[in-house]
Chain A
Amino acid sequence: MMKKVFTSIFFSICLYTSFLSYAQTGIVSGKLTFEDGQPVAFATVFITSINKHSLSDELGSYTIEAVPYGKYMAQVSSLEIEKKEFEIESTVASKPITTVLKRSSHTDLDEVSVIGESYKTQVEKSGFAVNIIDTKEASLRNIQTNELLNTTVGVKIRQNGGLGSEVNYSLNGLSGNAVRIFIDGIPISAYGNSFNLNSIPPSMIKEIEVYKGVVPGHLADDALGGAINIVLQNSTQSSFNASVSYGSFNTLQASVNGLYRFKESGFTVKGSLFHNYSDNDYEVSGRSVVVTGIGGVQTPVTARRFNDAYRSSGGMLQIGYTDVKWADQFLVGFTRSSDYKEIQHGAFMTITPYKDRFMESDAMLMNLTYQKNNLFVKGLDVNINGLYGKRNRMVSDTVAWAYSWNGERAIDFKGNEYKYTWGSQQEGGPTLAKINRNVSSIRTGISYTISKNHRFMANHVYSGIDRVDSDELRSVLENTFQGTRDLQKNIISLTYELNAFDEKLKANVFGKYYQQNTVNIDPEINEETNEIVDEVTSANTENEGYGFTLSYAVLPTITLLTSAEKAVRLPNESEVFGNDGDNVVANPSIRPELSNNINLGFRLGTYHLNRHDFTFSSNLFTRNIKDRIGLPIETSSNVNDETILYENQGNGTSKGFDAQLDYTYNNNFGFNFNVSRFDLKIVNRGVEIDVPNTPFFTMNGSLRYSFKDLIQKDSRLNLFYTMYFTDEFSYLVPQGSNTVGDEFFKVPQQLAQDLGLSYVFPSNKLVMSFDVKNIFDQAVYDNLSVQKPGRAFYLKLNYRINNY
């Protein structure tokens, strides 16, 4: 990230346009050095005639792909060098060339002219309320992907404990089912728990796109409140990196990623492995962390969590061809992952902590990627991404003995160890519940660029889940009569993109069609034949949504952005068919939740004043939700019914703003600050109330300072500071003006601060980082009583080779 921030000259990637591109293309590559042999990093290499660019990396290497065969003049520029033109040639097997450049005699920033923007800047100016999170820096530090998301403006993570514990994502106040998460555009429901933001290391991720309220057509799912898309590494350059991190709570995280491409044939092998482990045995205290003695007398204690360990491991292997005539990328692969998570308590920390309750999940998935720009004709880009496989999940809770917060067997009021009446740790009885799912998902995107100004895109996502539930602790007979659920979703979107007035005006209009088929197979006994027959019921839901984005650059540094979408969330399988375990029955006539989402924002910058660079952006948003799905209240008419059903209840609104400031000085000091605030209300039967248990005001800030050559020549030392602020909130609805007893329900104001440093050794291959999280050991909560880790230390070593 830091490279980009102070690169003297920005470069532009005309991402969606491609000129003079013919079927026969090749790759040109080379190296830029100073006269003394030092690499020239972050210089732009620009082939004017075909409008293709590349940026040299830290080793001075650059690659320009899809260059039609022929000779070209390339221009190289950077603040550090004097501008130079040189000739390059694209042939079947272009050889890398080394270009020697003269150091520039002046480095005055005032004379820099901005000629383009990074991909991140370009997307953030496209009209969507979007943040692009670059994982490059985080991947070298002891930072979890979720922590990175949590510092993003408008995003709030609610995590039920330490590493690996359940996470809920909130985007501008909308959370749960309203936020959809994707991996390379595939809904994460296909991957399950073992391959998610808890387990995937940041080094496997290229970037994370967070779309708030308005979701582009290529992320096709019923995302009511927004989408988070994890873009995995997709570079086709040979590279290798490995890292290992160890720290507090016996936390070990290791990952290896590598890609090797045979330059002649384009044959590519790509693999990654990860392993995460933590005991999560951090200290907790509070009103429910007590040890109970004779007569039920409670003694408050500070306890270490003792049933909270987490392990996840997995990997991905892909082979195929990249940058060949018939494909930019064609890869088939296999993903395997598994995780194990002990569960210390339910939604709240209570006086009865769990022992030996755990969840296991695994996934085995085949995947296929095909991507080709300019297929058959110029401007026609095709992108296919599919996977098929199985994923399984099991919850085990079979210990009836009661445990205490000291990790020992608890005693009852007489002083004897005892078992719970319900025979398990969580009330509800022993379970070995298994859910086996067959999953498949395929995403197809076609885009056609007519000219620089017009582009059409069509996207389709199919996802299917067949689900079978069983529980070893239930009889075979009961398991026989347990229903199975299938869910199939087709989502089609059409998008038109306009780029007018010299790229000042960008517009995007899209329509989405949602179709979902849910099938419920419930075995029953046929009264006449006395045989088991399957009763099959199905429900089909269809819906349409649409939206637009518009951005206008009043000046190159002032962009106005607006976007709106009529978003849809289809009822999920439980909402349609209920859930046997919870006595919820089918309501096939339930309607989808709808929301009108509007964003209105602006972006100012990047301003360059002497050595100061800054960008400021802000977004105002409203979300108007209709037909919220929920369970009805208990009344005298239904309290004795064995069953209830989900219903469409009322409306809701979320209104607020996000604001973000980025500032850098002279390539070695950086400051980021963001603030997010909203009001979330729901209306049921004409009565409006504020939604409780919502952190409605958050701020994040970070500082970075870099030293060059401090310890060794050509080394770099970076210092980091991050702060996270969450204002007080209550998990009870707002009360009257003069009530007492409110504090029982309040989650106090929280301020956590982290410090970190990373040291880049002179070879640039080895990076060591050390992080201290929550330096002042503050009590941090997501829900009241569910405490998160206190002060913690982590050390990480990274080794990387960017180019063979």
Chain B
Amino acid sequence: MKHTFKNLPKLTAMIIAGGLMVACTDDPTPNPNPNPDPDAEGRWITVAAARMGDNPGDGNGGTLIYSINSEEAKDPTVSIAPFDNGFIVPSNRTARLQSSEDGNTMFNISYAGDTGGNYTKYTVGGGQTFTQSGTAVSIAPYVGSAPRWVKLFDGDNTGAAVYVSTEDIFDDNGTPSDATDDTYVRTESTMGVVTLDLVNSTINEFQESIVSLTEEEEANGYYISRIDMPTLNAAGDKLYIGARVSKVDPATGESDNSGEILNSKTIVLDYPSLVNPTVISSAVGQGDTNGYRSINSFEYNGSVYQANQGDPEGSHILKIDANNQYDDSYVFNLDAALGVEDAYILAWRPAANGKAVVAYRDASSEEGVAGAQGFFALVDLNTKTGQRIDDIPYEADFYLFQYQGFVVEGTEIYLTQAPVGKNGNIYVVETETGEVTKGAQLENVAGSHYIGLF
């Protein structure tokens, strides 16, 4: 200690040098972009990885993306390490990513933080190269700084984001100061919907409207508390928005978890004007239709197929017909199709042939480090059948709750598989035959996971 004291300037220099050394990175990887030229035949596959924040599997430590071509994606000898070599998407919390259908452009709207609500797009250049294009635009003024958005399948022209705010309405019986005769009337949900021109980076339209349930449902304290996953119908004249219904106790105005779960509901809006909201209700499924982070409903063959969550009978895939009403004759229950209990659809994606890959959990899921274990299944929207894909390895820490992206190339669907903190692979499912190909290896780091492909 005395020695240190005598060499104070040296100590200070060491301290400063120490600080600088920490600031510098070491161990650079020689070539972050192993193949800068995209394969002329294939398309870019962008892998998304979510680094751990302060809890394993929370994905709050940054969303990293890294692109390879589809040939490399299918090659199990290729190994990629987005956590070391990726591009960190500018988003304070897990980014909600979308990509163009050809894979050449990534769309991002920053989630929370100082730039929350900012839309940016990137031209995919392979590896860690993502070149920002277009001007800055933010949807935060309309739908807040943590927007729930997806792209509409209209040729990558439009994105839509939604917001709902609620207010409890009471009747004071003409005596504002006397609480004893006050009665609960309803909880009013005000919905904001914004559409964004993805090509020109400008706002297309914004509308605000009040969405109501039936009088009886409202009198019992039910209201729409969360909305998400706007989907365009086949005619392109209606927007379907998934909804979650919550309940208050009309006697006290406090939230009530004990109520019965209502039938699944969807808000139907005119498009592109975003006016005239109505609420349609399924007689088949119960629970929420707002999904979580990945697109929850898709147009196929003239109808929109929608997954539901939190269904006491297990998740259903519901069908909304061209008449913009639920088709209650279409009953596709995942429990029944897979022969499992408490199936819960976490993410899914159909190919053009009506066959889809579903990420789900069920009663058999083990409790892993970040929650319930996930599985993949191959299902058929036409035959309403499905089976678990057993060529993909599963383990307790394999968790799919934050799963966001699948890539569809013809009848093939690409997906990522990696348990929290462990290496995994890209898998390619040939939906016609059910054949599964193990693709490129995904290198992982502690507490982190992969959230899909774009």
Q: Do A and B come from one complex?
A: yes
Which residue of the partner chain, among B32, B83, B167, contacts A429 with CB atoms under 8 Å?
Answer: B167
Complex contacts, B292 vs chain A, CB 8 Å: 636, 639
Instruction: For chain A, residues 570 to 622, give those with C-beta under 8 angstroms from any C-beta of chain B.
Output: 580, 583, 602, 604, 616, 618
Segment of B109-117, B215-223, B229-237, B272-280 in the binding face: B109-117
Whether B251 and A687, one on each chain, are in contact in the complex, defined by CB atoms closer than 8 angstroms, is no
Whether A677 and B51, one on each chain, are in contact in the complex, defined by CB atoms closer than 8 angstroms, is no
Report how far A402 CA is from B140 CA in the complex, Å.
Answer: 11
Contacts A421-B143, A738-B85, A744-B90 known; list 20 others, CB within 8 Å: A292-B138, A296-B139, A296-B201, A350-B114, A476-B178, A480-B179, A524-B252, A525-B252, A583-B255, A637-B371, A677-B18, A685-B55, A733-B52, A733-B62, A735-B83, A736-B64, A736-B84, A738-B25, A739-B88, A739-B128
The reply to whether the CB of A737 lies closer than 8 angstroms to some CB of chain B is yes
Which residue of the partner chain, among B8, B138, B252, contacts A616 with CB atoms under 8 Å?
Answer: B8
In the assembled complex, how far is the CB of residue A208 from the closest CB belonging to chain B, in whole angstroms?
26
Whether B114 and A287, one on each chain, are in contact in the complex, defined by CB atoms closer than 8 angstroms, is yes
B-binding residues in A (CB < 8 A): 286-288, 290, 292, 295-298, 348-352, 402, 410, 412-413, 418, 420-423, 427, 429, 474-481, 523-525, 558, 580, 583, 602, 604, 616, 618, 630, 632-637, 639-643, 649-650, 659, 661, 673, 675, 677, 682, 684-689, 691-692, 697, 727-728, 731-733, 735-742, 744-745, 784-785
Report how far A418 CA is from B84 CA in the complex, Å.
Answer: 44
Whether A296 and B114, one on each chain, are in contact in the complex, defined by CB atoms closer than 8 angstroms, is no
The reply to whether the CB of B336 lies closer than 8 angstroms to some CB of chain A is no
Whether A350 and B172, one on each chain, are in contact in the complex, defined by CB atoms closer than 8 angstroms, is no
List 18 A–B pairs whose Cβ atoms lie within 8 Å, in order of A's numbering. A288-B114, A296-B138, A297-B137, A298-B135, A410-B141, A412-B206, A475-B170, A477-B170, A481-B254, A523-B252, A636-B344, A675-B15, A685-B55, A685-B447, A689-B446, A739-B86, A740-B88, A745-B88
Complex contacts, B116 vs chain A, CB 8 Å: 348, 350
Which residue of the partner chain, among B86, B141, B167, contacts A402 with CB atoms under 8 Å?
Answer: B141
Complex contacts, B179 vs chain A, CB 8 Å: 475-477, 479-480
In the assembled complex, how far is the CB of residue A425 from the closest CB belonging to chain B, in whole angstroms?
12
In the assembled complex, how far is the CB of residue A556 from the closest CB belonging to chain B, in whole angstroms?
15
The reply to whether the CB of B121 lies closer than 8 angstroms to some CB of chain A is no
A-binding residues in B (CB < 8 A): 1-2, 4-5, 8, 11-12, 15, 18-19, 22-23, 25-29, 32, 51-58, 61-62, 64, 81, 83-90, 92, 113-118, 128, 135-145, 163, 165, 167-168, 170, 172, 176-179, 182-184, 190-192, 201-203, 206, 208, 244, 246, 251-255, 257, 287-288, 292, 309-310, 344, 346, 361, 369-372, 399, 401, 421, 445-447
Report how far A554 CA is from B88 CA in the complex, Å.
Answer: 54
Complex contacts, B252 vs chain A, CB 8 Å: 477, 481, 523-525
Q: Which residue of A lies closest to B61 (CB)?
A: A733
Report how far A733 CA is from B184 CA in the complex, Å.
Answer: 46
Complex contacts, A523 vs chain B, CB 8 Å: 252
In the assembled complex, how far is the CB of residue A531 from the closest CB belonging to chain B, in whole angstroms?
10
Report how far A17 CA is from B445 CA in the complex, Å.
Answer: 59
Report how far A225 CA is from B184 CA in the complex, Å.
Answer: 47
Whether B56 and A687, one on each chain, are in contact in the complex, defined by CB atoms closer than 8 angstroms, is yes
Complex contacts, B2 vs chain A, CB 8 Å: 558, 604
Whether B255 and A685, one on each chain, are in contact in the complex, defined by CB atoms closer than 8 angstroms, is no
Complex contacts, A735 vs chain B, CB 8 Å: 51, 62, 64, 83, 88
In the assembled complex, how far is the CB of residue A699 from the closest CB belonging to chain B, in whole angstroms?
8
Whether A738 and B114, one on each chain, are in contact in the complex, defined by CB atoms closer than 8 angstroms, is no
Which residue of the partner chain, among B88, B361, B421, B447, contacts A636 with CB atoms under 8 Å?
Answer: B361
Complex contacts, A422 vs chain B, CB 8 Å: 144, 163, 165
Whether A636 and B346, one on each chain, are in contact in the complex, defined by CB atoms closer than 8 angstroms, is yes
Whether B142 and A421, one on each chain, are in contact in the complex, defined by CB atoms closer than 8 angstroms, is yes
Complex contacts, B183 vs chain A, CB 8 Å: 477
Whether B89 and A741, one on each chain, are in contact in the complex, defined by CB atoms closer than 8 angstroms, is yes
Complex contacts, B143 vs chain A, CB 8 Å: 421
Complex contacts, A558 vs chain B, CB 8 Å: 2
Complex contacts, B137 vs chain A, CB 8 Å: 295-298
Complex contacts, A477 vs chain B, CB 8 Å: 170, 179, 182-184, 252-253
When A642-B246, A675-B15, A738-B28 are in contact, do A351 and B8 touch as well, CB less than 8 Å? no
| Nearest 10 pairs of A and B residues by beta carbon | A635-B371, A736-B84, A413-B203, A741-B88, A476-B179, A421-B192, A348-B114, A687-B447, A295-B202, A785-B114
Q: Which of B53, B114, B138, B145 has the most CB of A within 10 A?
A: B114
In the assembled complex, how far is the CB of residue B132 from the closest CB belonging to chain A, in whole angstroms?
10
Whether A351 and B138, one on each chain, are in contact in the complex, defined by CB atoms closer than 8 angstroms, is yes
When A477-B179, A633-B58, A677-B15 are in contact, do A736 and B371 touch as well, CB less than 8 Å? no
Whether A640 and B165, one on each chain, are in contact in the complex, defined by CB atoms closer than 8 angstroms, is no
Complex contacts, A728 vs chain B, CB 8 Å: 23
Whether B28 and A351, one on each chain, are in contact in the complex, defined by CB atoms closer than 8 angstroms, is no
In the assembled complex, how far is the CB of residue A151 from the closest CB belonging to chain B, in whole angstroms?
17
Whether A737 and B88, one on each chain, are in contact in the complex, defined by CB atoms closer than 8 angstroms, is no
In the assembled complex, how far is the CB of residue A495 from the closest CB belonging to chain B, in whole angstroms?
28
Report how far A580 CA is from B179 CA in the complex, Å.
Answer: 20
Complex contacts, A731 vs chain B, CB 8 Å: 92
Whether A682 and B84, one on each chain, are in contact in the complex, defined by CB atoms closer than 8 angstroms, is no
Whether A476 and B172, one on each chain, are in contact in the complex, defined by CB atoms closer than 8 angstroms, is yes
Whether A640 and B61, one on each chain, are in contact in the complex, defined by CB atoms closer than 8 angstroms, is no
Report how far A677 CA is from B20 CA in the complex, Å.
Answer: 12
Whether A633 and B117, one on each chain, are in contact in the complex, defined by CB atoms closer than 8 angstroms, is no
Complex contacts, B445 vs chain A, CB 8 Å: 736
Whether B206 and A413, one on each chain, are in contact in the complex, defined by CB atoms closer than 8 angstroms, is yes
Which residue of the partner chain, among B52, B128, B202, B421, contacts A297 with CB atoms under 8 Å?
Answer: B202
Whether B203 and A636, one on each chain, are in contact in the complex, defined by CB atoms closer than 8 angstroms, is no
Whether A420 and B141, one on each chain, are in contact in the complex, defined by CB atoms closer than 8 angstroms, is yes
Whether B182 and A677, one on each chain, are in contact in the complex, defined by CB atoms closer than 8 angstroms, is no
Q: Which residue of A lies closest to B145 (CB)?
A: A350
Whether A637 and B165, one on each chain, are in contact in the complex, defined by CB atoms closer than 8 angstroms, is no
Report how far A188 CA is from B180 CA in the complex, Å.
Answer: 38
Complex contacts, A583 vs chain B, CB 8 Å: 255
In the assembled complex, how far is the CB of residue B228 from the closest CB belonging to chain A, in whole angstroms?
11
Report how far A350 CA is from B145 CA in the complex, Å.
Answer: 8
Complex contacts, A352 vs chain B, CB 8 Å: 140-141, 145
In the assembled complex, how far is the CB of residue A614 from the closest CB belonging to chain B, in whole angstroms?
9
When A288-B115, A739-B84 are in contact, do A351 and B12 touch as well, CB less than 8 Å? no
Report how far A691 CA is from B54 CA in the complex, Å.
Answer: 8
Complex contacts, B22 vs chain A, CB 8 Å: 697
When A477-B253, A636-B292, A732-B61 are in contact, do A784 and B87 touch as well, CB less than 8 Å? no
